[in-house]
Structure 1
């Protein structure tokens, strides 16, 4: 459970990675963390909308990112978020630079917010303070990083 990734929304063979709207070009990407089959099947997918792009992220991960990103934006700080794309989805890395002045929307599929994991938040906050910014990591990886930092 170590490599987050992204892929285009829609049919991989028939659709392009972008869809055009009349006002602006909108890009859609999916961020998926490796997880157990049952957890992935049960995951509700939310949307992070920024700069004309929609990034589909599971609600639980998005809720944790929202807390950390909002804290930085309230302090008028720029935030860098990144994740790796797995080989089967084209490889590479996605990096999203978020500025305090630009509108950002966190849209959740679930009606109620999930219970937040304090360790995951602490690890994401620590990553947000590093020059490389926030790497989207799984809850399990955050738990491991949190435990290794305690010892």
Structure 2
């Protein structure tokens, strides 16, 4: 699982490597243009119900850390879908499917490593 460090919070948001590779491209494109937007996800099965949303803007520090040394292959259709979502008033949502094997899709996994609970999207 890859990690996205947001702001000065030391606890990362943990996301499937393939999903984070797509998020990184969309986020970098938006922030390079000076565009702010929201990023949301549904809480995992071990969390009380609900969603989390963060506000992304160029002034807030952001770092992506991947488990794999090799870059993930990117799905251009998924990137377009994610970019369109990021441009919408509802913002980018990680509650979408990511093609893991170029054949079958499965839900993205998202976890916030904040004590005492973690956010995990059911696989």
Query: Which TM class, normalised by the smaller chain length?
Result: 0.7 to 0.9
Output the CA distance in 2 between the equivalents of 1:80 and 1:86.
Answer: 19
Partner of 1:102, secondary structure, is coil
2:82 to 110, 116, 124: 124
Unaligned runs of 5+ in 1: 1-44, 142-151
Q: Are 2:53 and 1:95 aligned?
A: yes
Unaligned runs of 5+ in 2: 99-104, 107-123
Matches within 5 A, 1:1-150: 45-51=1-7, 52=9, 53-136=11-94, 137-139=96-98, 140=105
Partner of 1:81, secondary structure, is strand
RMSD: 1.7
Kindly report structure 1 stretches of 4+ aligned residues shifted beyond 6 Å. Answer: none
Partner of 1:115, secondary structure, is coil
Larger radius of gyration: 1
Which protein has greater RCO, CA pairs closer than 8 Å, 6+ apart?
Answer: 2
Output the CA distance in 2 between the equivalents of 1:59 and 1:86.
Answer: 17
User: Could you tell me whether the CA contact under 8 Å between 2:37 and 2:87 is conserved in 1?
Assistant: no
- The number of equivalent residue pairs is 98
Output the CA distance in 1 between the equivalents of 2:60 and 2:86.
Answer: 18
Structure that is richer in helix per residue:
1
